[in-house]
Amino acid sequence: MTITITAFERSPDGGRGLARDTRVRWALEEVGQPYQVRLVSFRAMKEPAHLALHPFGQIPTYEEGDLALFETGSIVFHIAERHAGLLPDDANARARAITWMFAALNTVEPVILELATAKVLEGDKPWNKERLPLVEDRVRDRLKQLSTRLGRTDWLDGGFSAGDLMMVSVLLRLKSSGILDEYPNLAAYVARGEARPAYERAFAAQLAINTGPPAG
């Protein structure tokens, strides 16, 4: 069955791979599933046809036959459940890998998004100079804990899993901030994720869209 995802017609990040379609592309590449991409403009995202797929008018979405999904956690979990390569066979190891997916999305990503908001949307506010260090420290608190848990291992729990895919995807947003480099094992962890051939293919595919001639 053909898989179709949606992505920004032009990502505001200019192809740095930070828009969330990249993690879905990465998951599909890891399991070897071909997919098509429907590009949507910011305006089209808020129109009824897209809102029927995504109630919050965002990308990415995922369509496969009768199934339409939104939310990258759900999409990557769906891919990982149906195809070998992203979740271990052992039931307990599988449950732990899924736990790491949730940890990435519910415990680590929120502080990173708060930092992005503080920098991008609140940078001109008079109180930003006082708030930004507090937000940065909340990011550091989480990274320190994650760094301690990862220790000297390559991945969070045994072999690479959907938990790592999600955690690396979330941490990538910090690359330009310099904060990630304060935790060398986390910086190396992210670099390991980026070096996976499946990630490289996913990154290249989104880059081609964002640097090529305009769609249409």
Q: By rule CB under 6 A, what string of x and - marks binding of each residue 13-32 to ligand GTB? A: x----xxx------------
Q: Applying CB under 6 A, what is the total number of residues that bind ligand GTB?
A: 12
Q: Convert 173-204 to b/e letters by CB count within 10 Å (16 or more is b).
A: bbbeeebbeebeebbebbeebeebebbeebbe
CA distance 101 to 79: 13
DSSP class of 213: S
Q: By rule CB under 6 A, what string of x and - marks binding of each residue 44-63 to ligand GTB? A: -x-----------xxx----
Using the rule CB under 6 A, which residue among 27, 72, 170, 209 binds ligand GTB?
A: 72
DSSP class of 53: T
Residue nearer to ligand GTB on the CB measure, 147 or 171: 171
The helix/strand/coil state of 195 is: coil
Residue 114 touches ligand GTB, criterion: CB under 6 A: no
State in angstroms the smallest separation of the CB of 148 from ligand GTB: 26
State in angstroms the smallest separation of the CB of 88 from ligand GTB: 23
State in angstroms the smallest separation of the CB of 157 from ligand GTB: 22
Residue nearer to ligand GTB on the CB measure, 87 or 104: 104
CA distance 13 to 82: 31
Signed CA dihedral, 144, 102, 138, 188: sign only? positive
Using the rule CB under 6 A, which residue among 39, 44, 71, 192 binds ligand GTB?
A: 71
| Helix 162-172, helix 109-120: angle, nearest 10 | 20
Residues near ligand GTB (CB under 6 A): 11-13, 18-20, 45, 57-59, 71-72
